[in-house]
């Protein structure tokens, strides 16, 4: 019996070693910039996990809403309920957030960008849970915000948690976060192409083949799971997006200027509310809920994500005065609510604002334009597209989102014109490159990217380091020196007070001249090139390594990994190695 237990124990130990070796090989593989097949598999897995969480998120919103309101829209509720619901919800959300640490209140797309660029894509699990609970409360209680920003955070967070669980290097975490974002967008709106472009354009801020393939597969997974669970999805099909005359093009460009004014106003109002940091968050959310509730008494269409308002504005069911009122009320309620910290997104609201403003432009064109009749349905879609592009600074993602939702290729030509005018005017007049980056700058978390940073962030230190190294004390005898050099290492890591590395070739040349077999060799005294060094974790990327070399003023980095209860040296990397990779 004891022999059987012993053999089983040996087999179990051997299996654990095999699993550990396989995991280590995987981490080493994905540290390389060309690890496309493995990253594609990981991208698919992260896409499935992100989509599963988004399905739970949507069900957590839809099921209570249907139960409490019996399938009614917010517009069908009595005026006193429309006032009380956002106010009570805002108070609950404020109290919930007030009980948390400030760092755990960082949510939505801005938080994802901050963690991606300042913390190498490591999104905390606590913030993900806070986002899930808070966004559900915001949607159920009719806050004038959307579910898209929370969905992006949830998808990115789930992918990041997968990478952190597998202890993947930081360069691969970037790609997994993009996969999670694409899957979340696809699962939320059934727009897989827009999900990919949003992830690359807004979150990763780069287009690479090694990034595209995993992100595309993750987006497909998100759309497939969404289709399998939900029958009805957001759709603008049936809306006529046909341009009636080329003479409308100057009018469309003029409409782009109007959209830019609305986008700039929205961003400025959001940032102004965000800067009020001397008040407790519960007071800020309560004030925002009071504002939303008051406006909802008169214009209930501002409550919730407002997708039905987009359809109503395109179909001509809303009059000109109501459309203008909705543009102003929705801008005020959504910008203040998001700036006050209520847990919701701004993508849906800005599309509603743009659609209503576009419908206003279309109706004015139909009534007063000398060029004849205009297609109000087309202008509503153009407004939604251009507003999303101008506020988010994401022209391509906005264009493809509305294209997928409307399934109307005719919209591409006029939409491109309005998007270009709106984006250029917003940047020129208001000096903003998107609400998310402006938000981070206001919070002191500005993101500065350069071509070299993007390239170096895509590769891990394990892909460039020299793994042929040996650790040793500073004083050794001749036999120990020979044993040390037997594996033919490139570097020796010296166990000294201040971390040092030296080239093994220098020791090899020195011992050739030593005659005394009992001689002791002081590695700090022999003629050799010794480099001041510091330690860096194996999961770091090359940009982190470059930054560490500069900030710590050292010449080399000792790459380490945690192995059970000890830290193990696995390689050495120098500035020359990084320069060689970048060159």
Q: Domain boundary residue among 442, 476, 492?
A: 442
- Same domain? For 200 and 264 the reply is no
- Same domain? For 469 and 508 the reply is yes
Contacting residues for 211 by C-beta, under 8 A, at least 6 apart = 175, 178, 200, 204, 458
- Closest-CA residue to 128 (of 148, 145, 152): 152
Cα–Cα distance measured from residue 213 to residue 208, given in angstroms and rounded to the nearest whole number: 9
- Same domain? For 62 and 187 the reply is yes
- Tell me what the mean pLDDT of segment 245-255 comes to: 85
- Same domain? For 517 and 434 the reply is no
Most confident stretch, 239-248, 288-297, 465-474, 568-577: 288-297
Does 24 have pLDDT greater than 70?
no
CATH number at residue 525: 3.10.580.10
The residue with greater pLDDT, 173 or 246, is 173
Does 4 have pLDDT greater than 70?
no
CATH number at residue 384: 1.10.3080.10
- Same domain? For 530 and 561 the reply is yes
The share of the chain scoring above pLDDT 70, in percent, equals: 89
- 386-433: per-residue pLDDT in tens? 999 999 988 998 888 888 888 778 788 888 999 999 999 998 888 777
User: Is 225 inside a domain boundary?
Assistant: yes
- Same domain? For 257 and 225 the reply is no
- Closest-CA residue to 452 (of 257, 206, 170): 206
The three-class DSSP label of residue 559 is: strand
Contacting residues for 29 by C-beta, under 8 A, at least 6 apart = 35, 38
- Same domain? For 222 and 254 the reply is no
pLDDT at 319: 87
Does 26 have pLDDT greater than 70?
no
- 264-292: per-residue pLDDT in tens? 999 999 999 999 888 899 999 999 999 99
Q: For residue 355, with 0-12 CB atoms within 10 Å meaning exposed, 13-18 middle and 19 or more buried, which class applies?
A: buried
Furthest-apart CA atoms within the chain: distance in Å: 104
- Tell me what the mean pLDDT of segment 167-178 comes to: 87
- Same domain? For 206 and 61 the reply is yes
Cα–Cα distance measured from residue 486 to residue 427, given in angstroms and rounded to the nearest whole number: 63
Please, what is the average pLDDT of the chain? 86
Structural domain that includes position 518 = 456-582
The three-class DSSP label of residue 487 is: coil
User: Is 310 inside a domain boundary?
Assistant: yes
**Residues in a beta bridge with 531:** 501
Most confident stretch, 220-229, 236-245, 304-313: 220-229
Least confident range of 4-13, 160-169, 283-292, 355-364: 4-13
User: Is 5 inside a domain boundary?
Assistant: no
- Same domain? For 252 and 117 the reply is no
DSSP 189-219: HS-HHHHHHHIIIIII----HHHHHHHHHHH
- Same domain? For 111 and 39 the reply is yes
Distance of CA 107 to the CA centre of its chain: 11
Which regions of 240-333 does DSSP assign to beta strands (E)?
A: none
Least confident range of 75-84, 121-130, 285-294, 399-408: 399-408
- Same domain? For 124 and 37 the reply is yes
Cα–Cα distance measured from residue 116 to residue 118, given in angstroms and rounded to the nearest whole number: 6
Rounded to two decimals, the pTM is 0.86
Contacting residues for 313 by C-beta, under 8 A, at least 6 apart = 323, 326, 355, 356, 358, 359, 380
pLDDT at 374: 63
Cα–Cα distance measured from residue 447 to residue 117, given in angstroms and rounded to the nearest whole number: 7
The residue with greater pLDDT, 513 or 153, is 153
Inter-CA distances, 168 with 4, 20, 139, 161, 539, Å: 37, 13, 34, 10, 6
The residue with greater pLDDT, 368 or 353, is 353
Rg of the chain over Cα atoms, rounded to whole angstroms, equals 29
- Same domain? For 536 and 511 the reply is yes
Residue 238 φ/ψ region, left for φ over 0, alpha for ψ in the -120 to 50 degree band, beta for the rest: left
How many structural domains does the chain have? 3
């Amino acid at each position: 019996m004891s022999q059987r237990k012993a053999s089983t124990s040996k087999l179990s130990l051997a299996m654990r070693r095999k699993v550990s070796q396989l995991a280590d090989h995987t981490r080493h593989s994905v540290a390389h910039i060309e690890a496309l097949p493995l990253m594609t598999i990981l991208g698919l897995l992260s896409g499935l996990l992100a989509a599963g969480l988004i399905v739970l998120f949507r069900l957590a919103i839809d099921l209570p809403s249907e139960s409490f309101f019996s399938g009614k829209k917010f517009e069908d509720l009595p005026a006193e309920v429309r006032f009380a619901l956002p106010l009570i919800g805002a108070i609950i959300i404020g109290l919930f957030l007030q009980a948390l640490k400030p760092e755990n209140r960082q949510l939505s797309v801005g938080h994802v960008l901050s963690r991606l660029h300042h913390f190498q894509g490591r999104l905390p699990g606590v913030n993900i849970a806070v986002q899930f609970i808070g966004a559900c409360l915001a949607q159920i209680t009719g806050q004038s915000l959307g579910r898209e920003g929370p969905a992006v955070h949830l998808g990115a967070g789930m992918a990041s948690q997968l990478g952190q669980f597998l202890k993947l290097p930081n360069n691969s975490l970037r790609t997994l976060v993009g996969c999670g974002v694409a899957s979340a967008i696809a699962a939320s709106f059934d727009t897989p192409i827009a999900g990919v472009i949003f992830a690359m354009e807004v979150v990763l801020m780069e287009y690479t083949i090694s990034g595209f393939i995993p992100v595309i597969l993750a987006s497909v997974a998100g759309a497939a799971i969404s289709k399998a669970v939900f029958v009805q999805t957001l759709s603008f099909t049936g809306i006529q997006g046909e341009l009636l005359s080329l003479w409308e093009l100057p009018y469309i460009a003029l409409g782009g200027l109007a959209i830019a004014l609305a986008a700039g106003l929205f961003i400025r109002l959001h940032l102004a509310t965000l800067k009020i940091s001397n008040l407790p968050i519960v007071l800020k959310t309560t004030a925002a809920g009071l504002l939303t509730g008051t406006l909802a008494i008169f214009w209930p269409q501002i409550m919730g994500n407002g997708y039905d308002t987009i359809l109503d504005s395109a179909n001509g069911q809303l009059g000109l005065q109501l459309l203008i009122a909705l543009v102003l009320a929705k801008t005020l309620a959504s910008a203040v609510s998001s700036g006050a910290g209520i847990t919701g997104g701004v993508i849906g609201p800005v599309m509603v604002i743009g659609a209503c403003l576009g419908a206003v432009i279309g109706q004015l064109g139909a009534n007063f334009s000398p060029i004849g009749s205009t297609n109000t349905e087309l202008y509503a879609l153009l407004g939604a597209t251009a507003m999303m592009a101008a506020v988010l600074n994401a022209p391509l993602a906005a264009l493809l989102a509305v294209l997928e939702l409307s399934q109307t290729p005719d919209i591409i030509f006029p939409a491109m014109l309005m998007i270009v005018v709106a984006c250029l005017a917003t940047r020129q007049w208001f000096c903003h490159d998107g609400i998310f980056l402006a938000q981070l700058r206001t919070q002191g978390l500005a993101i500065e990217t350069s071509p070299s940073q993007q390239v170096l962030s895509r590769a891990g230190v394990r892909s460039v380091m020299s793994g042929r190294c040996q650790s040793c004390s500073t004083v050794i005898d001749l036999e120990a020196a020979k044993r040390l050099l037997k594996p033919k290492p490139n570097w020796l890591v010296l166990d000294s007070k201040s971390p040092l590395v030296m080239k093994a070739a220098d020791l090899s040349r020195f011992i050739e001249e030593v005659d005394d077999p009992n001689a002791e060799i002081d590695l700090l005294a022999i003629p050799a090139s010794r480099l001041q060094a510091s330690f860096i974790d194996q999961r770091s990327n090359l940009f982190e390594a470059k930054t560490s070399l500069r900030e710590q003023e050292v010449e080399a980095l000792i790459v380490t990994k945690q192995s059970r209860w000890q830290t193990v040296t696995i390689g050495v990397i120098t500035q020359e190695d990084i320069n060689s990779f970048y060159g």
